[in-house]
Amino acid sequence: MINYLLRLAFVGTNFSGWQVQPKERTVQGVLQEALSKIFNEEIKVIGCCRTDAGVHALDYVANFKAKKDFPEEKLLLALNGILPKDIGVYEVRKVSPEFNARYSVKGKVYLYKIWNSEVRNPFLYPFTWQVKKGINFELLKRTLELVRGEHDFRAFAKLEEEKNTVINLEEVSLKREGKLIEIRLRASHFLRYMVRRIVGTAVKIALGVYEPSLMEELLKGKGKAPYTAPPQGLHLEKVIL
C-alpha cells in the first residue's frame, strides 16, 4: 500500500464540515468519492482535524493509502480535474507508511476574520463575521492576551468529546487594517469550538456586553463560554508538519 499526503484548501460555505455524515455534503466525503473513482477502489481519507459546517481551510493536511502507485503530478492534476470548485488540492506527496494526518502534524494556526462595519462588504461577507457595532480594539487586544500560554480551556470546549483540555496557546496576535480585524492563534492542537468561543467571548467583552473579568473567570474553570462566534469567519490557515 502506498501512503499519500494531500495538502488542500476549501471554502466551507456549502459543506457540513470535514467529517463524513449521512446525507450531508462534507469535504471528507467528496474527497473520498473522487479518489475512489481515480483509483478504482474504496479509499478512506484521514484528516488532520475536524472542521465545523461553514469553516474554511487555507491549508489542510490529509492522507490515504491505496494499492496503486500513482505519479504525484498526475494525481494532483486528476484530483483538481474531478473535484468541485470549492476544493483545491495543491500538493500530493508519497510519505512513509507511518504518517497519519491526525497524529503526525506538529501544530496548527487558525485565523479569525471580523468585518467591523455597519456596511456589508459582499466580497468579504462569506469569509468574515460582520460586527456592526464599534469594537474597542484595545480592550479586545488585552482580553485576548489573557489566553496566551498554557491554560485549561475546558470552558471553551465541547466537553463530552474532549479528554485533555490543557493547551499551550503559543501565539495570539491581532491585526487591524481599516474595518478588517484578524486574530491568529497557534497551538499544537485545539479543542472543538475553542477558537470560536474564545473569539466570540472576547468580542462581546470588547463590545461591552460582558464584564472584562469574564475571560479570567473562564480560564479559572468558572462557568462556560457564553458566546460562540459564527463559523464563516474561521479559517484553518496553516498546518505545521
Catalytic residue annotation: 52
DSSP-derived pairing of the beta strands 234-240 and 56-66:
parallel
CA distances from residue 42 to 37, 216, 221 in whole angstroms, order as listed: 8, 49, 45
Kindly state the cell numbers that stand for 112. Answer: 479569525
Closest C-alpha to 83, from 22, 13, 189, 10 = 10
How many CB atoms are located within 10 Å of the residue 138 CB?
10
Cα–Cα dist 115/134, whole Å: 10
Closest C-alpha to 54, from 233, 235, 231, 236 = 231
CA distances from residue 186 to 107, 171, 211 in whole angstroms, order as listed: 7, 5, 26
Kindly state the cell numbers that stand for 170. Answer: 503559543
Q: Is the dihedral of CA 141, 229, 198, 155 positive or negative?
A: positive
Report whether 222 contacts 44 (CB < 8 A): no
Q: Residue 94: enclosing H or E segment and its boundaries?
A: strand 87-95
Report whether 82 contacts 49 (CB < 8 A): no
